Each structure stands twice: as C-alpha cells, then as structure tokens.
Amino acid sequence: MAFLLVIAAWSFATPLMASPDEPSQVKQATALVRGQIDEPHVPGKFGPVSNIRVPEWAARAALLPQCFAFRPQRSGFCPVVVGGSRRMVTAQTQFSNYPPLYFAWVGLPSLPLTGRSALYAMRLTSALANASLLALGVYLLARYHPRRFPLVGALVALTPMVLFLSGVVNASGLEITAAFASWCAGLCVIESREIPRTLAVWTSLAFAVFILSRPISPVNAAAVLVVLAALAGWRRLRTLTATPRALPIGGIILGAGVVAGISLVVGGSPSLLGRPLHPALTFSGAFHEVWTLDPSRLEQGIGLFGWTDTPIPHPVQLLWIGLAAGLCLIGLLRSTRFLLALVLLVVAILAMPVIFEIPKINAIGPYWQGRYWLPLLVGIPLTATAASGHRPIRRLQGLLDTPLAAGARVAAAVLLGAVIVWAQVAAFVLALHRYTTGLDRPAGTPIQWMPPGGITFVVVTFVLGELLLAGAIAWMVVRPQRARPSRPGRSRPPAHKHSRRSGRLAAHT
C-alpha cells in the first residue's frame, strides 16, 4: 500500500505525457491490445517508425507535451483537448517491436475507457505493477535474507527517479522495478542453505519479467547474475548446482532469455530517433563524448524528471551520493567479495553506452539516459549492504549485541528514515512546483496547472506513503531477528544458534 500511495501520487503530480516517450508508448499500448503486433517500419522524420491505428483520443494526447516539454519555466498547462473519440486514426510509434509484455498490461484500460480517464487509468495500471514488484523485493529481503541491513540498501536504492518512472507510462519503470525485485530475490537465494519453494517461484517470476520488459533487459539481467555470482563465491556456486530448486530457477531465466532473443531476431532491432551528427565523430571522439556525459547521466539516476527538464534539489542529490558512497565503504570493510562485485558492476554500467550508444551516435546523436542504467544502479546499495561479513568488523559482533548498540540501531534507523523522507518529499514538491507554475518564476506567480484532486491531496498522499514506507522498513530493520540457517560454509557462534525444537525444550525446562 505504501508503494502504491507514493507512486500514484507521482502519477497525479505529473501532467499527462510529461515523461520521456510517454506519448509514443501510450499509442503503442493502445494499438497492441487491439491486435497490432510488430508493425513494419517506415521512414519517419527522425528515423524509422511504424504506422498504427489507434483511437483518436490517444493520437491527440501525443500533442500535450508540446506545450511544456523542455521548457521548465512553463507550467504543465496545455490547452489541447484530448476528447473521447473512439474513431480509429493513423498514428506513429517507434516502439512497435518492443517486447509486448508491458504494453499488453498497461493498454488494458484503453479498451473500455477513453480520453483523460483512460490515460490516468493506464498510469495507475503501470503503477500497480511497479508497486507490486518493489513490494515483492522488500518482502523477500525481510522474509528470506539472514540479515536486516539489506533493507537499508533497499531504501537507498529507491531513488526519486525510480518512483517517478514507476508512476508514468514507460517500459523503463517496469524494467527497473523488476530488476529491483530480481536483485533482492537473488541476494536471498545465494544466502539460503535450502531454497524455499516460495522464494524459488518469486525469483523466477521477477527475473522473467525483468528479462522481458525492454530490448536490452537480457543484457542487464546477465550482468546482475554475474555480479550475484561474484558476491556468492565459487564454493557457494558449486553448492547451488546441487540444490534442487536452483536448477528450475536457472531454467526459467534461460527460457525467458530465449524468448527475448527470438523476439529480437523476428522483430528486428528497436528504432531510435534522432538527428545525424555533423561532422561525424571518430570512435575516440565518440568515446570522449560519452565519457563526458556519463557523470550527468549518473545524476539522472537519482532524479531528473519530466522530459529531462526538471531537476531535483542539489542537497538531495548530494545526500544520495553520500549515502551510496557510505554503504559502499561499509561493504568494502565487510567483505572482499564485494570489491569484485562492485568492480564488475561499475564496469558493466560504464560499458553499456560504449556498447549500445557509440555505434549509433553519428546516425542519431547521443541518446543514452540515466534511467537506462537504473536496473544496475539499484544493485549498488543492495549488494553493498548484503555483503557477508568476513573482515575484522565482524569481530565487533559482541559489542553490536549490547542494549546500548540496539538503541543506537533504532536511533540510526529512525534518523535515516527521516532523512530519506525529507529528500523524497523535497524532490516531489519541486517537481510539482515546476508543473503548477514553472521553475524560477517570481513569488506570487499564479498557479496555472492543477493536478487531479488538487495540490494538497497529492502532497498529503505522497507524504503519507513515504512515512508508511520508511516506517515499515525501519521497523523491519530494528525488530528482533529470527534465526535462519546460514548458507553452507558459514558458521555462527554457538550463542546465536537456535531452533524451534530447542526453544520448546527451553520452555518446558
């Protein structure tokens, strides 16, 4: 419920079509649920597109962002009338050969509904799927991971950009939330002596949705699996091969990858729109261009809303960088394996635009966005907090079990939750201000755009959801931990051993 409140608030606080590619993805979803799959490409103004037949209201909705996109000084008000005409017209989209899973889901409300009601319903349908995947990831960490610290990593992994993309019509939102659930599930699997049936089912589902969400998702999923393998270690990987439920998980992941590969071969490479570069860049020039843009793109992973024209407050950006760096430092102190996992993850992140962007940069210009990295970026705080304690910091376990240390943990969890809530609300309020009046407008500028339900409604909904989310995770972090069997090769001090049977014997004696 907390995730749904937060993401729904983002859906209402963002004007319709005020997220990247939302107009074209809405048209693709409405066309796909009406039976149009993998339409042929035709030349378009900025690259190959597909002609599709959609209701007139969906075609007219694509005109909305022309009033405010890339103009942060303008509000989200737009005089375009979407209407509710069901008359079928010809429109264009570059997403016709994208994986159909996401569009088949979010397009369902467009069958009975029309106009703005349909558009908001499509957003909320997307929000429901994304909120469910985020909740799944947190649930798996709380239920199956032997330590509570990864829940802190989950709180940091869910940047404002993750929540924003979860509330609009964009396949990147599904890819990111499914990746989050996959990271959480995978971290639980590598820590389990015997993989429970429920964990195996949810892990398989999370990875399958992840792989089938976007064209490059199989590559991202492969990177996640490699990093998880590095974090687990060779001994644990050998043990997993003999674990009964590990092989079905691997089979489903492989099957989803095969389906994604066949879809790519049959449908062809997805279209990318842009303008050719003049003069064309050499490989070294293109590499320098990409390397120069990487820092700003990494910042987009924290927050850059709208059509990449609505930034977050600078203190929020610094806070998130500091939190991620601090968790990485703790992970490096706790485990040597995390160093290898972090290096592999950073290499994969930096290599993605080199592999995918540079070969096409002269034809369409730079196109990579920070949101394309988020399926991997969310793994940094998660793996940092899930790293096993093999370094001297583990010798402090006795001190950490004292009542004073327990009180300090409670205070730290409350403080971290409060800071995260402040940062999320600050980013949300600034984005809402950008669309109600426009950025950098003088004080007293009248409100020109109003979200559904009004400003107070969406802000209260968002704050309530954030308080519930941060409070729930903080409570799960500090509550007494149930003993669970550790993974093979790891021993616990005798004082920490406990079982249901020994507990019953102690009660009788």
φ/ψ bin of 440: left (φ > 0), alpha (ψ from -120 to 50), beta (otherwise)? left
371, 161 contact by CB (below 8 A): yes
Helix (H) or strand (E) holding 53: strand 48-55
Instruction: Tally helices (H) and strands (E) across the chain.
Output: 22, 5
Look up the pTM and report it: 0.90
300, 371 contact by CB (below 8 A): yes
Query: How many whole angstroms separate alpha carbon 152 and alpha carbon 326?
Result: 12
Peptide bond into 279 cis (omega under 30): yes
Give, as one character, the DSSP assignment of residue 481.
Answer: P
Query: How many whole angstroms separate alpha carbon 70 and alpha carbon 79?
Result: 17
CB atoms within 10 A of CB 387: 29
Query: How many whole angstroms separate alpha carbon 85 and alpha carbon 83?
Result: 6
Helix (H) or strand (E) holding 48: strand 48-55
Name the one residue in this structure whose structure tokens are 């829940």: 151
Give, as one character, the DSSP assignment of residue 399.
Answer: H
What is the chain's Cα-based Rg?
Answer: 24
Task: Give 360's contacts (C-beta < 8 A, 6+ positions apart).
Answer: 272, 367
Position 418, amino acid: A
In degrees and rounded to multiples of 5, residue 378 shows phi and psi of: -65, -20
Please state the separation of Cα 500 from the chain's center in Å.
Answer: 38
Pair type for strands 304-305 and 88-93: unpaired
421, 467 contact by CB (below 8 A): yes
Query: How many whole angstroms separate alpha carbon 290 and alpha carbon 168?
Result: 27
Q: Where are the alpha helices (DSSP H) in 335-378?
A: 336-356, 361-364, 374-377
Report which of 128, 126, 145 is spatially closest to residue 183, judged by C-alpha positions.
145
Which token pair is 330?
A: 């703790």
Task: Give 208's contacts (C-beta < 8 A, 6+ positions apart).
Answer: 252, 253, 255, 256
Report which of 144, 234, 230 is spatially closest to residue 193, judged by C-alpha positions.
144
User: Is the C-alpha dihedral spanning 228, 149, 162, 296 positive or negative?
Assistant: negative
Report which of 245, 413, 420, 199 is spatially closest to residue 322, judged by C-alpha positions.
420
Report which of 237, 194, 209 is spatially closest to residue 101, judged by C-alpha positions.
209
Report which of 158, 134, 259, 256 is spatially closest to residue 207, judged by C-alpha positions.
256
Query: How many whole angstroms separate alpha carbon 94 and alpha carbon 312?
Result: 29
Query: How many whole angstroms separate alpha carbon 275 and alpha carbon 134?
Result: 36
**pLDDT tens, position by position, for the chain (509 residues)?**
899 999 999 999 999 999 999 999 999 999 999 999 878 878 887 778 889 999 999 999 999 999 999 999 899 998 889 998 999 999 999 898 899 999 999 999 999 999 999 999 999 999 999 999 999 999 999 999 988 889 999 999 999 999 999 999 999 999 999 999 999 999 999 988 888 999 999 999 999 999 999 999 999 999 999 999 999 888 888 888 777 878 889 899 999 999 999 888 887 777 788 888 888 889 999 999 999 999 999 999 999 999 999 999 999 999 999 999 999 999 998 888 899 999 999 999 999 999 999 999 998 999 999 999 999 999 999 999 998 765 444 444 454 455 665 667 678 878 888 999 999 999 999 999 999 999 888 777 889 899 999 999 999 999 999 999 988 888 888 775 554 444 544 444 444 343 333 333 333 33
Report which of 376, 411, 468 is spatially closest to residue 162, judged by C-alpha positions.
376
Give, as one character, the DSSP assignment of residue 270.
Answer: P
Q: Domain limits of the chain? A: 2-104+114-480
52, 27 contact by CB (below 8 A): yes
Name the one residue in this structure whose structure tokens are 């400003």: 455
Task: Give 274's contacts (C-beta < 8 A, 6+ positions apart).
Answer: 46, 47, 363, 364, 365, 367
Q: Is 313 exposed, middle or buried (0-12, 13-18, 19+ CB in 10 A)?
A: middle
Predicted pLDDT at 390: 53
Predicted pLDDT at 505: 33
Task: Round to the nearest angstrom and report the end-to-end CA distance of the chain.
Answer: 43
Which token pair is 417?
A: 């939750």
Predicted pLDDT at 497: 40
Q: Report the SS3 class of residue 155.
A: helix
Query: How many whole angstroms separate alpha carbon 330 and alpha carbon 387?
Result: 9
